[in-house]
Amino acid sequence: MAEITYREALNRAMDEEMARDAKVFILGEEVGEYDGAYKVSKGLLSKYGPGRVKDTPISELGFTGLGVGAALAGLRPIVEWMTHNFALLAIDQVVNNAAKMRQMSGGQLKVPIVFRGPNGPAEYLASQHSQAFASYWAHVPGLKVIAPATPADAYGLLKSAIRDDNPVVVLESEMMYAWKDEVPDEEFLVPIGKARVAKEGKDLTLVTFSKPIKIVIEAAAALVAKGVDAEVIDLRSIRPLDEGAVYDSVRKTGRCIVVDESWPVASVGSHVAWLVSKHCFDTLDAQVELVSGEDVPMPYNHALEIAAQPSVEKILAAARRVLYREDL
């Protein structure tokens, strides 16, 4: 088993799927000659040629919609957005064309397409380049949304996404591309719609997805040092959402903190918190807490941007509230 980066895991997934199926092709800004803005598509142009690794103009609306058309016409495109920030220019194509076309035509067709790229706050990029859009996609019926948080999940989930006959949005992160972990050498797939127990525990459930997994694991370790055994659920898929895995954990622990780096209003985190409040009402020993990004556009200054995001300290503060323990 080799230790590879999140970036290499995504690359391996696309490489294997392109080798397996000639209908798979990649398009986006700088995916070819430049090997990808974040080098995720490194080497694919030389291996598969410009017919299947297509550099596009700076034209998110255009090439995203083009991908949808190619999917309707029988191909399996992977659309790379340099970041989800720029995907806002293409959101109509995803919502009105990709997500609805099958249902509004009475199931006459399928739309096998992957939209992927980094999402969520990076560093020193300020408000237009540092924002978390999970809920924008999660809101839309007809889309699947995945948020792998480890190299193994990045590999296995992206492969499942490429083979899926429906539109799948993949949330990655600039900050995660260099994360390293073991990924089995043999081929495998991670099914879309299954959460992962990242750490078992009995006193408190921490639910998160994507990049915040790092601070959640750190917070869990800090709690262990104080005698509190938290369970960590990594959702991995946001749509479909593995509600059962969350409820199983909360029914065991009786307490729940949801951590989501998005803004707090109408977010994936607030939705999960509502679901838990509704479905685990009888077993909860405290209110469900949401640790989110602050409700402001991301500032540039580093101290300010850190202050605007979830942190270990904010999670520990929430833990004090749900455990009714000021000493933590």
Partner 1 sequence: MPFQKREFPNAFANLPKEKALALLETMVRIRAFESRVEELFLNRKIPGFVHLYIGEEAIASGVMAHLNKDDSITSTHRGHGHAIAKGARIDRMMAELYGKKTGYCKGKGGSMHIADFSVGMLGANGVVGGGYNIAVGAGISARIKKTDQVAVCFFGDGASNRGTFHEALNLAAVWKLPVLFVNENNQWASTTPTSFATSAVHIADRAKGYGIEGYTVDGNNVIEVYNAASALIEAARKGKGPAILECLTYRIKGHYVGDPERYRTKEEVQKHFTENDPIIRFSAYLKEKGMLDDAGLEAMKAAAVREVAAGEKFAEDSPYPDKEEALDDLFSFSPKEFPEVVR
Q: Please, which of residues 199-228 interact with partner 1 by CB under 8 A?
A: none
Q: Please, which of residues 234-293 interact with partner 1 by CB under 8 A?
A: none
For 168, the enclosing helix (H) or strand (E) is strand 168-172
Which one of 74-82, 119-127, 209-217, 288-296 is the stretch in contact with partner 1 (CB under 8 A)?
Answer: 74-82
**Does residue 121 touch partner 1 according to CB under 8 A?**
no
**Does residue 71 touch partner 1 according to CB under 8 A?**
yes
Per the CB < 8 A criterion, the answer to whether 246 and 279 are in contact is no
**Does residue 6 touch partner 1 according to CB under 8 A?**
no
**Does residue 8 touch partner 1 according to CB under 8 A?**
no
Residues assigned a catalytic role: 60, 129
What's the rounded Cα separation, in Å, for the pair 150 and 303?
27
Per the CB < 8 A criterion, the answer to whether 243 and 208 are in contact is no
Which position among 30, 42, 66, 175 is part of the footprint of partner 1 (CB under 8 A)? 66
Whichever of 75 and 328 has its CB closer to partner 1, that residue is 75
Longest dimension (CA), the chain: 61
Give, in order, the Cα–Cα distances in Å from 69 to each of 13, 200, 304.
23, 44, 42
Which position among 82, 101, 206, 268 is part of the footprint of partner 1 (CB under 8 A)? 101
Q: Please, which of residues 160-189 interact with partner 1 by CB under 8 A?
A: 160, 163, 165-166, 188-189
Which position among 121, 148, 151, 156 is part of the footprint of partner 1 (CB under 8 A)? 156
Which position among 11, 64, 249, 292 is part of the footprint of partner 1 (CB under 8 A)? 64
Q: How many residues bind partner 1 (CB under 8 A)?
A: 55
Structure tokens at 261: 């780096």
Runs of H (alpha helix) within 73-212 = 84-87, 91-92, 101-104, 134-138, 151-163
Which one of 30-38, 52-60, 174-182, 211-219 is the stretch in contact with partner 1 (CB under 8 A)?
Answer: 52-60
Whichever of 174 and 234 has its CB closer to partner 1, that residue is 234
Contact letters (x/-) for partner 1, 12-51, by CB under 8 A?
-------------x-------------------------x
Cβ within 8 Å of residue 2, ≥6 positions away: 182, 183, 185
Q: How far is CA 117 from the centre of its chain?
A: 10
Whichever of 65 and 201 has its CB closer to partner 1, that residue is 65
**Does residue 191 touch partner 1 according to CB under 8 A?**
yes
What's the rounded Cα separation, in Å, for the pair 326 and 328?
6
Structure tokens at 193: 């719609």
Per the CB < 8 A criterion, the answer to whether 305 and 298 are in contact is yes
Cβ within 8 Å of residue 46, ≥6 positions away: none
Residues that bind partner 1 (CB under 8 A): 25, 51-52, 54, 56-57, 59, 61-75, 77, 92-93, 96-97, 101-112, 141-142, 144, 152-153, 156, 160, 163, 165-166, 188-191, 194, 196
